Chains A and B, each alone.
Chain A
Amino acid sequence: MFKVADSPLDGRVPDGAIADKWDNRKNELKLVSPNNKRKYEVIVVGTGLAGASAAASLAEMGYNVKAFCFQDSPRRAHSIAAQGGINAAKNYPNDGDSIWRLFYDTVKGGDYRARESNVYRLASVSGNIIDQCVAQGVPFAREYGGTLANRTFGGAQVSRTFYARGQTGQQLLLGAYSSLMRQVGAGKVTLMPRREMMDLIVDEGVTRGIVCRNLKTGEMEAHTGHAVVLATGGYGNVFYLSTNAKGCNVTAAWRCHRRGAYFANPCYTQIHPTCIPVSGDYQSKLTLMSESLRNDGRVWVPKSADDNRAPNEIPEDDRDYYLERRYPAFGNMVPRDVASRAAKERCDAGFGVGDTKQAVYLDFKHAIERDGEDVIRSKYGNLFHMYQKITAENPYQVPMRIYPAVHYTMGGLWVDYNLESSVPGLFVLGEANFSDHGANRLGASALMQGLADGYFVLPYTVGDHIGKHGSSLKPLGNDHPVVQEALESATSRVNSILAVNGTKSPDSIHRQLGQIMWDKCGMARTAAGLKQAAEEIRGLRDVFWNEVKVLGSGDSFNQNLEHAGRLADFLEFAELFATDAWHREESCGGHFREEHQTEDNEARRDDDNFCYAAAWEFQGVGEQPVLHKEPMEFNEVALSTRSYK
């Protein structure tokens, strides 16, 4: 199914002790003088935490920036939906936290499949993020004395999570957005909303710009500059049902992949343990109930499989608090992959609850008895409200019913230590890259990573590329052959989708793709299932190109066409996903291969053979991709079996 490259891939990690690497790298990087910065244009695709923070920072430094998103406003990027919080090693609660401990927890939480040096840098700038956000006026929760408050998240035994009610992502994004809008007002950033990136423009191996479709008018536009920063988020919607916003897609990343950017670890998907279960076949998305709820909620199922009593009628003795039973040290706060698998295990064994038996209880009874309803309301009011809206049940009175759902994608475009992809001049930030979370992301660390990348890493590293190449890269006009070619290829792709004129809606095909992914590439994977998934995906791709029906035209606002275009890319990407999952003959983090588990059903890694990031090189649709292996070296945190017992 694939070929392997001869030589290992180099992550270009700087020399020196782990704590000095970032400083060492900063000292080596080329600088662009303040007067010269204004001669350069940087294209930032995506305005979530990663993109908005990068675009604002670059403009503050003096670069000219164009910022793109597909929504009508940068403020609506999917980061807005993050609920629970953001980690930082501030050690304000004085409970023994440190940069090293946050680094260690993240490496371990990622099941030893992340790049150590990146994670260390992430932990070391985490404190600056909180400072920056507070300076912007982000209203983080506070104690009565006026200092910042913290809560605990999964995979940690310290309180290091900062939060703004259940709307942390919203407040952080609005902070970054306000900085971005300040630069728009100052004329340093040009906003390009309602644009979908359709292609990357590459000339002689160097990134020169992008092609995007103006979603309002349908016009194809080329935008060229001196560097492209991609911060287009994750690809969880390849599963159709996920906690992601409906527009989240792989299109921008996939188009870059087709132009030479390696795609790393596509199979690493995070299935979040606490989501509202599926209720019907019209279901369009799944809703997360934040991990922070596990601070006060206890997860249980009945001890007896055929216990049909209402939850409140089941006495303590007949309840199985299975996380507390299996993992006494971390209890309900085990990492997500562990909690999700444990829920699936109970449901598969027949202990699930509710009509579908595909759910477990998350119960706040004890917390309400202990702290009172008002305290619980002040911490989680908006989540309880949301739960009640969707299910028509009152979680102050009856336990929530929850089930795992696709939530986050650790895989993404491969980047080196500078966050530069395998195509020079293309930088990738946030959820769209692969580098910091290994095979499983800890809660509250995606927000941290997005802002670390955008405020504190990229602004330095992009200068190195521009310092080296900037003066030789003259802007390309629309008549340049590579620009022409990219424009034509994007236009012809839109036209071919419209030309199929079959009978099946994009949504119906997308749902089918989601079913294949969930059944065979979801929480439990097998070699045979993955092989079959790859075949079914190829088949479904043919169905798409022969039977999809998209009405309307390419030169107008056409949401169905947008969806079809994204689906076409998911259908190519999904095959790589299955191939990656099939090739990785081990279990690690969110990647669970049934063949590779311990007697008590924990993931069994194979460090001798798979301690690498799998970076795939595109060879053509349906062609065997080339696998580049970047060895993951662990010099600081010794490789060991994760235990949360």
Chain B
Amino acid sequence: MSGQGMNLTLRVWRQAGSEDKGEFRFYQLNNVSEHMSFLEMLDVLNERLIKLGEEPVAFDHDCREGICGMCSLMINGQAHGPDNETTTCQLHMRRFRDGDTITIEPWRAKAFPIIRDLVVDRTSFDRVISAGGYVSVNAGNAPDANCLPVPKQDQEKAMDAAACIGCGACVAACKNASAMLFTSAKVSQMAVLPQGKPERARRVLNMVAQMDEEGFGSCTNTSECEAACPAGISVDNIARLNREYLKAVVFSDEGV
């Protein structure tokens, strides 16, 4: 497409508040440039709605660079839309065709209640981290950084897992709304690094317990989470979590 932009039909979930019943509404948006990002396309829609006196569509976003994990959206049933390893804010309209109808919905999961329109509450993720996703070290206590050599391949593995942006796409993509990929990424990062070893048993036990308490579903290994993940987090991390969990149950004094 060049010159003339695309004409699109948007089918957008609107819901005034957490207690309200939501519904899809249709909007026609014409002359959309292929160079726009998906969120810029929604900006254009919102500017138009304001002109027409309809409240703009609420959606979370901040960095618009694919790193803060604030943006979300199910786009035509896919978390963050059709591109691999791409957040909604990094998705561009050149991915769509003139005449397309695009369905836009919020993440749907019991542990992510809807706040308004496309915005959900993901504070359950924070609570999972606060259950154990850290190394217990106070500021001021650390020895010289090079006292603790870390093999390059371990550091790379830790970094692969640590790249998780906490957006929740894994939960949204999973038919059980499981948070295993999210939780396992943090467990893995700490499990492969020497810094994380002393607390590894209690970490995995506590984080998994919190995950269950938040109402996330269980993992049935469908790998939909990996396919949806914009940060390329691998399901290998889930296997590592399971090993960590088993070891903790069988060998540690932490108990379950």
Q: Which residues of A contact B (CB under 8 A)?
A: 53, 56-57, 60, 71-76, 78, 80-81, 90, 92, 127-128, 130-137, 139-148, 164-165, 167, 170-171, 174, 177-179, 181-182, 184-185, 191, 193, 216, 245-247, 279-280, 282-285, 287-288, 385-386, 389-390, 392, 455-456, 459, 503, 505, 507-508, 549, 551-552, 556-557, 559-560
- Stretch from B38-46, B73-81, B248-256 contacting the other chain: B38-46
Residues of A within 8 A of B246 (CB): none
Q: Interface SS of chain B: helix, strand, loop or mixed?
A: loop
Do B146 and A147 have beta carbons less than 8 Å apart? yes
Residues in B whose Cβ lies below 8 Å from that of A386? 65-66, 90
Known A-B contacts A182-B130, A280-B33, A285-B64; the reply to A128 vs B142 at CB < 8 A is yes
Q: Confirm or deny: B220 has a beta carbon within 8 angstroms of a beta carbon on chain A.
A: no
CA distance A75 to B68 in the complex (A): 8
Interface residues of B in 105-122 (CB under 8 A from A): 115-116, 119, 121-122
Whether the Cβ atoms of B47 and A284 lie closer than 8 Å is no
Bound CA span A216–B145, Å: 41
Asked if A167 and B145 make an inter-chain contact with CB atoms under 8 angstroms apart, the answer reads no
- Is A78's CB under 8 angstroms from B63's CB? yes
Name A551's contact: one of B35, B50, B195 (CB within 8 Å).
Answer: B50
- Give CA–CA (A135, B8) in the complex, Å: 51
A552 engages B146 (CB within 8 Å): no
B195 to chain A, nearest CB (A): 4
- Cβ A139 vs Cβ B189 within 8 A: yes
Bound-state CA distance A601–B55 (Å) is 50
Nearest residue in A to B128 (C-beta to C-beta)?
A181
Residues on A with C-beta less than 8 A from B23 are none
Interchain CB contact (< 8 A) of A559 among B56, B122, B193: B56
B21 within 8 A of A: no
B-side contacts of A549, CB under 8 Å: 50
**Chain B, Cβ-Cβ closest to A56:** B139
* A-B contacts besides A146-B150, A505-B51, 4 pairs, CB < 8 Å: A132-B139, A178-B129, A178-B135, A557-B17
Give Cα A285–Cα B36 distance, bound, in whole angstroms. 11
B64 touches A246 (CB 8 A): yes
Q: Could you say which residues of chain A place their CB within 8 Å of the CB of B3?
A: none
Q: Collect the chain B residues with CB atoms within 8 Å of residue A283's CB.
A: 40
Known: A75-B69, A142-B152, A184-B126. A505 touches B145 (CB 8 A): no
**Complex: A191 Cα to B125 Cα, angstroms:** 13
CA distance A181 to B126 in the complex (A): 7
Residues of B within 8 A of A385 (CB): 85
Chain B residues with CB under 8 Å of A165's CB are 159, 163
Q: How many angstroms from the CA of A135 to the CA of B193 in the assembled complex?
A: 10
Which of chain A's residues have a CB closer than 8 A to the CB of B58? Answer: 557, 559
Closest chain B residue, CB of each to CB of A553: B55
Could you jot down 10 A-B contacts, CB within 8 Å? A90-B146, A137-B196, A146-B152, A167-B67, A178-B133, A182-B136, A247-B62, A503-B51, A507-B47, A549-B50
- Point out the residues of chain A lying under 8 angstroms from B145, CB to CB: 90, 130-131, 133-135, 140, 148
B162 contacts A171, CB within 8 Å? yes
* Distance in angstroms between the alpha carbons of A145 and B140 in the assembled complex: 26
Among A72, A165, A459, residue most surrounded by chain B Cβ atoms (within 10 Å) = A72
Contacts of A133 in B (CB 8 A): 145
Q: Are A389 and B62 in contact (CB under 8 A)?
A: no
Q: Report the Cα distance A127→B140, complex, angstroms.
A: 11
Q: Which of A76, A143, A177, A280 contacts B68 (CB 8 A)?
A: A76
Is B240 engaged at the interface, CB distance under 8 Å to the other chain? no
Report B-chain residues with C-beta under 8 Å of the C-beta of A557: 17, 58, 115-116, 119
Contact B121 A72 (CB under 8 A): yes
Given contacts A134-B148, A144-B152, contact A191 B55 (CB under 8 A): no
Does B166 sit at the interface, judged by CB under 8 A?
yes
Binding site for A on B (CB under 8 A): 16-17, 33, 35-37, 39-40, 43-44, 46-47, 50-51, 53-56, 58, 60-70, 85-86, 90, 92, 94, 115-116, 119, 121-123, 125-126, 129-146, 148-152, 155, 158-159, 162-163, 165-166, 189-190, 193, 195-196
Report the minimum CB–CB distance from A164 to chain B (whole Å): 6
Given contacts A142-B150, A282-B33, contact A389 B92 (CB under 8 A): yes
Give the distance in Å from the alpha carbon of A333 to the alpha carbon of B48 in the complex: 44
- Whether A193 contacts B123 by the Cβ 8 Å rule is yes
Would you call B193 and A139 a contact (CB within 8 A)?
yes
- Inter-subunit contact A181/B129 (CB<8 Å): yes
A72 interface neighbour in B47, B60, B155, Cβ under 8 Å: B60
Residues on B with C-beta less than 8 A from A130 are 145
Min CB gap A190→B, angstroms: 12
Contacts of A137 in B (CB 8 A): 135, 158, 189-190, 193, 195-196
CB distance from B120 to the nearest CB of A (A): 8
Which residues of B are found within 8 Å of A53, using beta-carbon distances? 139
Cα(A248)–Cα(B135), bound, Å: 30
Contact check, B139 vs A60: say whether CB atoms are below 8 A apart: yes
Q: Which residue of A lies closest to B70 (CB)?
A: A76
List of A residues within 8 angstroms of B144 by Cβ: 127, 131
CB of A12 to closest CB in B, whole Å: 24
Contact of A60 among B46, B86, B116, B138 (CB under 8 A): B138
| Bound-complex Cα distance A31 to B35 (A) | 57
- CB nearest neighbor in B for A285: B64
Of B39, B116, B163, which contacts A167 at CB under 8 A? Answer: B163
The 5 closest A-B pairs by CB, nearest first: A146-B149, A178-B134, A135-B142, A131-B142, A181-B130
B36 CB contacts on chain A under 8 angstroms: 280, 282
Q: Name which residue of chain B comes closest to A193, CB basis.
A: B123
- CB within 8 Å for A284 and B135 given contacts A135-B195, A193-B123, A216-B115: no
Cβ–Cβ < 8 Å partners of A559 in chain B: 56, 58
B47 engages A505 (CB within 8 Å): yes
Q: Is A76 within 8 A of B43, CB to CB?
A: no
Question: Which of A75, A131, A280, A503 has the largest number of chain B CB atoms within 10 A?
Answer: A131
B62, A136: Cβ atoms under 8 Å? no
Beta-carbon contact of B134 and A245 below 8 Å = no
Q: Distance (Å) between the CB of B231 and the closest chain A CB? A: 9
| Shortest beta-carbon distance from B185 to chain A in Å | 11
| In contact, B122 and A73 (Cβ under 8 angstroms) | yes
**The one of A139, A455, A505 that contacts B139, using a Cβ cutoff of 8 Å:** A455
CB atoms of B133 and A282 under 8 A apart: no
Shortest A50–chain B CB gap in Å is 13
How far apart are B245's CB and chain A's nearest CB, in angstroms?
A: 19
> Shortest distance in angstroms between A481's beta carbon and chain B's nearest beta carbon?
34
| A78 with B62: CB separation less than 8 A | yes
In the docked arrangement, what's the CA distance between A142 and B154, Å?
A: 10
CA distance A216 to B60 in the complex (A): 12
How many angstroms between the C-alpha atoms of A179 and B122 in the bound complex? 19
- Chain B residue contacts of A185, Cβ below 8 A: 130-132
A475 to B174, CA, bound (A): 47
Nearest B residue to A391 via CB reads: B35
A135 in contact with B141 given A71-B62, A185-B131 (CB within 8 Å): yes
Q: Chain A residue with minimal CB distance to B120?
A: A72
Which residue of chain B lies nearest to A54 when distances are taken between CB atoms in the complex?
Answer: B139
Decide: A181 and B60 in contact? CB cutoff 8 A: no
Chain B residues near A284 (CB-CB < 8 A): 37, 39-40, 43, 64
Chain B residues contacting A459 (CB-CB under 8 Å) are 139
B190: chain A residues within 8 A (beta carbon): 137
Most central of B92, B140, B145, B149 by chain A CB within 10 Å: B145
Of all chain A residues, which has the CB nearest B43?
A284
What's the least CB distance linking A16 to chain B, in Å? Answer: 23
Known interface pairs A505-B50, A551-B50; A134-B142 also in contact (CB < 8 Å): yes
User: B155: which A residues are within 8 A, CB to CB?
Assistant: 139-142
Q: Which chain B positions have C-beta within 8 A of A551? A: 50, 53-56
Contact present for B152 and A181 (CB under 8 Å): no
Given contacts A282-B36, A556-B17, contact A81 B65 (CB under 8 A): yes
Q: For B53, B54, B62, which residue has the most chain A Cβ atoms within 10 angstroms? A: B62
